[in-house]
Structure 1
Amino acid sequence: MAAHLGDPFRGTRERRVLGPDESQLALERDVAARAARAAGLSLQDIDLMLVASFPSAGVGVGDAAFLARDLELRCPAWNVESTCSGGLACLQMACSLVSAGQYRRVLVLVSCIYSRACDWSDTLTWFLGDGVGAFVVAAAEPGSGLLAVHAISTAETCGSFRYTVEDVDGSGYRPIIRAGNSSSRALRDTSSRFVRDACLQAVEKAGMTLADVDVFLCNTPLAWYAEFFAQALGVGRERTISTYERYANIGPALMPVNMHAAATSGLLRPGKVALVFTVGTVSTAGAAVLRWGEVAVDPTT
Structure 2
Amino acid sequence: MPHTHARLAGVTVHLPEAVRSTTETEHRVAASSAGFRPPPGLVHRLTGVERLHTMPDDWQASDLAAAAARKLLAETGTDPGSIDLLIFAAASQDMIEPATSHMVADQLDLRCPVFDVKNACNSVLNALETAHALIAQGSYRRVLVACGESPSRAVRWSVPDLRTYLSAIPGYTMSDAGAALLVEASDEPGVLGSGFTADSRSWSVGTLASGGSAHPRGDEHTYFRLDGVGLRRAFEQLGPQILDDTLERLGVGWQDMAAICVHQVSKPYLDQLADRFGLPLDKITVTVTEHGNTAAASLPLQLVRARESGRAEVGDLVALVGLAGGISMGMSVIRL
TM-score band, normalised by shorter chain = 0.7 to 0.9
Aligned equivalent of 1:237, options 276, 281, 286: 281
CA contact (8 A) 2:90 2:124 kept: no
Task: Call closer, same or farther: CA 1:194–1:214 in 2, change over 3 Å.
Answer: farther
Aligned residue type for 1:126: Y
Q: The residue matched to 2:318 in structure 1 has which SS?
A: strand
Shift of 1:173: 5.0
CA contact (8 A) 1:108 1:135 kept: yes
CA contact (8 A) 1:120 1:126 kept: no
1:25 aligned residue: 62
Aligned equivalent of 1:259, options 299, 303, 309: 303
* TM-score (normalizing by structure 1): 0.85
Task: Call closer, same or farther: CA 1:186–1:130 in 2, change over 3 Å.
Answer: same
Task: Call closer, same or farther: CA 1:155–1:43 in 2, change over 3 Å.
Answer: same
> 1: CA distance between counterparts of 2:280 and 2:90?
32
Task: List aligned pairs for 1:135-284, cutoff 5 A.
Answer: 135-142=181-188, 144-165=189-210, 173=219, 176-179=222-225, 183-194=227-238, 196-284=240-328
- By percentage of residues, which structure has more helix? 2
Task: Call closer, same or farther: CA 1:270–1:53 in 2, change over 3 Å.
Answer: same
Where in structure 2 are there 5+ consecutive unaligned residues? 1-39, 159-164, 212-217
2:19 aligned residue: none
Aligned equivalent of 1:117, options 124, 131, 154: 154
Question: Quick check: 72-81 or 122-131, which moved more?
Answer: 122-131
CA contact (8 A) 2:64 2:148 kept: no
CA contact (8 A) 1:105 1:138 kept: yes
Aligned equivalent of 1:106, options 103, 123, 143: 143
> 1: CA distance between counterparts of 2:239 and 2:282?
18
Task: Call closer, same or farther: CA 1:63–1:265 in 2, change over 3 Å.
Answer: same
> 2: CA distance between counterparts of 1:263 and 1:140?
21
Give identity over the alignment, percent. 21
> 1: CA distance between counterparts of 2:121 and 2:304?
17
> 1: CA distance between counterparts of 2:155 and 2:199?
23
For the pair shown, the structure with the greater C-alpha radius of gyration is 2
> 1: CA distance between counterparts of 2:274 and 2:258?
13
Q: The residue matched to 2:308 in structure 1 has which SS?
A: helix
CA contact (8 A) 1:161 1:177 kept: no
* TM-score (normalizing by structure 2): 0.77
Aligned residue pairs: how many?
280
> 1: CA distance between counterparts of 2:280 and 2:108?
42
2:332 aligned residue: 288
Deviations 1:222-246 (A, max 9, x none): 1224323321233431111111112
2:29 aligned residue: none
Task: Call closer, same or farther: CA 1:186–1:84 in 2, change over 3 Å.
Answer: same
Task: Call closer, same or farther: CA 1:106–1:232 in 2, change over 3 Å.
Answer: same
